[in-house]
Amino acid sequence: MSHTIDHTARLFGEFAPISLAALNAKAAMLERLDNKYVIREAVLRAALAELARHFDVLEINGRRTFTYDTCYFDDDALHSYYDHHQGRRRRCKVRVRRYNDAQLCFVEVKLKDKRGITIKKRLDYTVDKYGMLDEAACAHVDRCHRNLYGEPFRYALAPVIEMRYQRVTLVAREGGERMTIDSRLLFRRGERSCMTPPDVFVVETKSANGNGIADRILRALHQHPTARCSKYCVGMAALEAVERHNKFLPALRKLEVEPARYRAPDGPPRLPFAPLLQAALH
């Protein structure tokens, strides 16, 4: 995996660095409009020169690519998944995210307000509690839900899927716009897993109005947002953990992780788990 990390980091070698403290001093972007794009490396390379004119890259201890582990939680009926699949305006997603390189951990609750804006609320967490929700974490989930929707969170949550990926974070020199570039997404649920191809990137733009600098640069390259590209939802669908996932099929196909029964006969094969996991962990 180290050669893959080095390759991705080299793509952003011409960007000016920004420290974590300086990044956090800018707008937190915890309330924003998001757009997600699934693009190939050739498209990303074509965008880099223009992006470097407007964005700096997060750098910590000389590193520009960071490993994230995320555990998502849902109830027995998978309300979080199916609320998203059905396009419900009122929905709640709960995860614990571990930033491996910085050894930080947070409980994160993502909700949608009536304007369709993503609201993300964080709770500091200890790394040893990754993969579980303690009493304080559950109280945080309930509090976030009550504050936005005016009613308690009623579901009993349990871990349902884990994922690991490599991330580069860009921040605009002016304003609070951010951009994340994720690659090598590894989804795991029990003994099942799959990984996206190394030249596929999930780019997420985060801006106040959903039409930021990065969006305009990508549009100029004839790229358009990929609808219904939630990592949690596509991971659950790719691992065939849900009964319905037709609305996520376009994203699954672009990521090349669609379930076997929906794949064209000459489509890319499912990727084996064991060697990919070993590569991801070392």
Listed range (27-31, 44-48, 204-208) with the worst mean pLDDT: 27-31
pLDDT of residue 27: 56
What gap in Å lies between CA 71 and CA 96, rounded to an integer?
5
- 3-state class (DSSP) for residue 71: strand
Extract the tokens encoding 32: 């924003």
Mean pLDDT of the chain, nearest integer:
87
Model confidence, pTM: 0.85
**pLDDT tens, 129-157?**
999 999 999 999 999 999 999 999 999 99
More confident call, 20 vs 77 = 77
Confidence of residue 30 (pLDDT cuts 50, 70, 90): low
What gap in Å lies between CA 19 and CA 13, rounded to an integer?
15
Reply yes or no on whether the pLDDT at 273 is more than 50: no
Q: How many CB atoms sit inside 10 A of residue 153's CB?
A: 20
Phi, psi torsion values for 169, nearest 5 degrees: -115, 130
Question: What Rg, from alpha-carbon coordinates, does the chain have?
Answer: 18
**Looking at this protein, which amino acid is placed at residue 129?**
K
CATH of the domain at 163: 2.40.320.10
As a whole number of Å, the end-to-end CA separation of the chain is 6
**pLDDT tens, 157-208?**
999 999 999 999 999 998 778 999 999 999 999 999 999 999 999 999 988 7
Look-up of token digits 């180290």: 2
Reply yes or no on whether the pLDDT at 36 is more than 70: yes
**pLDDT tens, 245-264?**
888 999 999 999 987 544 54
If one counts the domains in the chain, the total is: 1
Distances (CA, A) of 133 to 95, 106, 108, 141: 9, 11, 11, 10
Range of the domain at 72: 2-281
**pLDDT tens, 81-112?**
999 888 888 899 999 999 998 899 999 999 98
Give the dihedral of Cα atoms 109, 112, 113, 116; nearest 10 deg.
150
